[in-house]
Amino acid sequence: MYKKILVPLDGSEKAAKAALHGAELACKMGSELILFHVAPSLPPYIGGRPNHLGDIQQAIMDEFTKHGHDAIAQVKDDLKAYGLNISSCIAVGQPADEIIKKAKETGCGLIVMGSRGLSEIKGYLMGSVSNRVTRYANCPVLIVR
């Protein structure tokens, strides 16, 4: 059961906690873990010359991607002791849709994610990403508080 588990990461503590939970499950069930980050996409910019805005947009995208790599590297480090088979990837787009797509593409039997993420607004149990993934994913979703 659960040969592959998808763990979406946004760099938040809640997501890192969910990753630990995913690792515990993966240990018990011999699953592979896939750590996944989605960087936001920016509106396309077609500029003239010199293309300052295009350069700035590229710099912003580079920072977003770096943030994703850092979030994944941090969690990989946290999970070292488990000795699991861990792979990772980054996509660009709408986080919930990309998470659902990735789970389908890779044949993950379970998604383990945080209830909230980077923008904890008080009063809501779940953020918009965890909300949407639980509603529309094609596999079971485990939300870690």
Ligand X SMILES: Nc1ncnc2c1ncn2[C@@H]1O[C@H](COP(=O)(O)OP(=O)(O)OP(=O)(O)O)[C@@H](O)[C@H]1O
Residue 63 Cβ, how far from ligand X at the closest point, in Å? 14
**Cα 131 to the center of its chain, rounded Å:** 14
Answer for the pair 116, 31: CB distance below 8 angstroms, yes or no: no
Site string for ligand X, 6-25 (x = CB under 6 A): --xxx-x-xx--x-------
Nearest of 122, 107, 117, 135 to residue 38 by alpha carbon = 117
Window 117-136: residues binding Mg ion (CB under 5 A): 117, 119, 127
Binding window for ligand X (CB under 6 A); candidates: 20-28, 46-54, 80-88, 112-120: 112-120
Q: Is 10 left (phi over 0), alpha (psi -120 to 50) or beta?
A: alpha
Q: Are 34 and 6 in contact (CB under 8 A)?
A: yes
Report, in Å, the least distance between residue 85 CB and ligand X.
Answer: 20
Contact between 113 and ligand X by CB under 6 A: the answer reads yes
Alpha helices in 35-125 (DSSP H): 52-78, 95-106
Per CB under 6 A, residues contacting ligand X are 8-10, 12, 14-15, 18, 36-38, 95, 113-114, 116-120, 127-130
Per CB under 5 A, residues contacting Mg ion are 117, 119, 127
